[in-house]
Chain A
Amino acid sequence: MVQPNSRGFAAGTREPLLRVDDLHVEFDTPRGTVEAVGGISFEVDPDQTVAVVGESGSGKSVTALAILRLLEGGWISGGQVHWDGQDLVTADATAMRRVRGDDIAMIFQDPMTSLDPLYPIGNQIVEAIRLHRRISRRAARERAIELLEQVGIPDPRARVRSYPHQLSGGQRQRVMIAIALACSPRLLIADEPTTALDVTIEAQVLELIRELQREYHTALLLVTHDMGVVAEMADWVVVFYAGQVVEQGPAARVLGAPRHPYTEALLSAVPTPATDKALPLTVIDGAVPGLADMPPGCRFRARCAHAWQRCTDEPPLFELGEGRQSRCWLREGSEMDGAPVLPAADLSPAAGREVS
């Protein structure tokens, strides 16, 4: 079992806002059923920004969609999503409708997938507001203009009448953020929200999200492949690899001193302004294994510079203290260096220090 609120050591026993617990997601493919997400657990606290980072095929976007039960072609095959005293995995359609938008809002990489090209953006914001709030059309329209202004759309009173195609990519993402915030959700899930944007626009949108988070006290679950965005935004980071969490912890600690070989390699593979140009970049050999032919043992083993005999057994997530975890045999016993040892009752009997 997962240790309830593993960050409780430092933060007392505060209930997390969202607790994803041993989530499994499966998909049907021509080659049979594959598991895209294989037992993911993490938490989001109120006001916190949690970044889920990984490469394509890591299961990060699937996890985000599964939380809101928006999976297409796939299904949750195990685990729970705790939100507000209920399990979203088993919640009925009415409850899910209330949660979506009202409690948890989501924005995507490409706003055009969520905006209706046939309606002016103002109508779409009004719709979103009136779906969850009993207010008049006129009041909702005023609120829409206010929201557009807040997300930095110039001349919002005229812009409410614009159609999505009349806006730039950056402005469309701002409109999506306005719709997402229309009902002051407690959690915003953003899946690669700035990946399609130019860097100066990305910077503006990230800044906007941060400002609005402060104002609305919205927690953020940010799905990204970009370590730079993680460094910029996240309090907590969860590193995904091949459908599993391989490492998680406070963002500054994980980025500053990663404790899993994959995180370490991922960080040094990205050139930074400090990278020595005289040297080749650190590479991770090979590619992410396909879901249908996942190797036994550690899923990163074939690409890992530190792989040894032990890695043919699947490593559990080891607790490293302060809620930090690493799925690497090299970390077995790591909690001995200062972190509190878990009470014996929370350990599964056979697995020693493992937590999942």
Chain B
Amino acid sequence: MSSVAAPARAAGRQPAEDDLLCVRDLVKHFPVTRGLLGRTVANVRAVDGVSFRIGRGETLGLVGESGSGKSTVARLVLRLLRETRGEIVFAGHELTGMRAGELKRLRRRMQIVFQDPFSAFDPRMSIADVIGEPLRAHRLADGRSARRRAGELLELVGLTGTDLDKYPHQFSGGQAQRIGIARALATSPELLVCDEAVSALDVSVQAQVLNLLRRLQRELGLSYLFIAHDLNVVRYISDRVGVMYLGQIVEEGPADELLADPRHPYTRSLAAAIAGAGPPGSRRRVLARGEAPSPSDPPAGCRFHTRCPAAFGRCREEAPALRAVGPDRTASCHLLERPGQEART
């Protein structure tokens, strides 16, 4: 553990038998190198001691601003990045340190939906090939059977089999995102990581895709790791929400409770900052001051203290640990500390 990071406890609810994903004390540092010899001069602490669990059929929302590390968490879980340390247990298998062949078999059980589906598609591929590609890559289907499966998947996401021979540019942003979801579902995954999957869509289309994700979850029993910056969207789709700030989860709990009654000053700032959260001029916003410091040089003590409206002496020196702040809820703030309430691992 680095000296400034709090001893990271498993955030949120207690472990359960039906956990699909369990992330414990995950750390990812990116070295900043300089000079010909590539001397490491600093580390960007993109993810610095993150723990969470996702049950089967459950949605965990991760919110945070740019640089909070939420997308890095997604890439670590999907093994697109190697962790610096920590554990990732998926369906009972420890993924860190797993051999490539073994990992490949597990990998088709977890898929990702990106913000910009067009960037993930080869513009010269027909939709049948776009959706069929993961089937062929994992040797699940080929030729006619891959095409048949692609057609089924298109219908599952609300498009039609006749779209199979079209090309990506013939679709609107909302339709393209449906295709992105169909492609992610091709290998029948249990976990879908949605990284800002609805953020670029117009609101009328965003609602369509959110409804689709909820229907698919119900029908297929999917678990979602839903990463977004829009708190209202995250609350709507998530069972639980984790709030990230500079590489750490600062608060975690059931979505409704967490947003109706945020406990950490950062979550309170986020909730207050939602434009139109109240009638104009009716409230004093709890505003985080200034801007987030660089994750390569996070402040000592509590990482939020430089922006916190409630910071006091201790916040500058000592990093607060994640503690239970109610049934099934944790937050890391000295102001919320009461003796004997430290969250159990």
Residues of A at the B interface (CB closer than 8 Å) are 55-56, 154, 168, 170-171, 194, 198-204, 206-207, 225-233, 252, 265-266, 269-273, 275, 277, 280-285, 287-288, 303
Closest 6 CB pairs of A and B: A228-B276, A231-B276, A228-B275, A198-B65, A203-B273, A284-B204
Q: How far is the CA of A342 from the CA of B219 in the complex (A)?
A: 55
Q: Are B204 and A283 in contact (CB under 8 A)?
A: yes
Q: How far is the CA of A283 from the CA of B215 in the complex (A)?
A: 14
Q: Are B172 and A287 in contact (CB under 8 A)?
A: yes
B236 proximal to A (CB < 8 A): yes
Q: Are B174 and A287 in contact (CB under 8 A)?
A: yes
Residues on A with C-beta less than 8 A from B277 are 228, 273
Given contacts A207-B285, A231-B280, A271-B236, 18 further A-B contacts (CB under 8 A): A171-B291, A198-B229, A200-B269, A200-B287, A201-B65, A206-B275, A225-B203, A226-B275, A228-B275, A229-B275, A232-B280, A233-B280, A269-B204, A273-B277, A277-B236, A283-B204, A287-B172, A287-B175
Q: How far is the CB of B36 from chain A (nearest CB, A)?
A: 25
Q: What total count of A-B pairs have CB within 8 Å? A: 115
Residue of B nearest to A206 (CB): B275
Q: Are A271 and B233 in contact (CB under 8 A)?
A: yes
Interface residues of B in 219-272 (CB under 8 A from A): 229, 231-233, 235-236, 255-256, 259-260, 269-270, 272
B126 proximal to A (CB < 8 A): no
Q: How far is the CA of A204 from the CA of B286 in the complex (A)?
A: 11
B202 proximal to A (CB < 8 A): yes
Residues on B with C-beta less than 8 A from A198 are 65-66, 229, 292
Residues of B at the A interface (CB closer than 8 Å) are 65-66, 172, 174-175, 202-208, 210-211, 214-215, 229, 231-233, 235-236, 255-256, 259-260, 269-270, 272-277, 279-280, 285, 287-288, 290-292, 307
Residue of B nearest to A204 (CB): B287
Q: Are B274 and A200 in contact (CB under 8 A)?
A: no
Q: Give the residue of B202, B214, B279 whose beta carbon is less than 8 angstroms from that of A55.
A: B202
Q: Give the residue of A55, A225, A270 whose beta carbon is less than 8 angstroms from that of B232.
A: A270
Residues on B with C-beta less than 8 A from A225 are 202-203
Q: Are B274 and A228 in contact (CB under 8 A)?
A: yes
Residue of B nearest to A194 (CB): B275
A-B contact pairs, 5 of them (CB 8 A): A228-B274, A270-B207, A273-B235, A283-B207, A303-B204
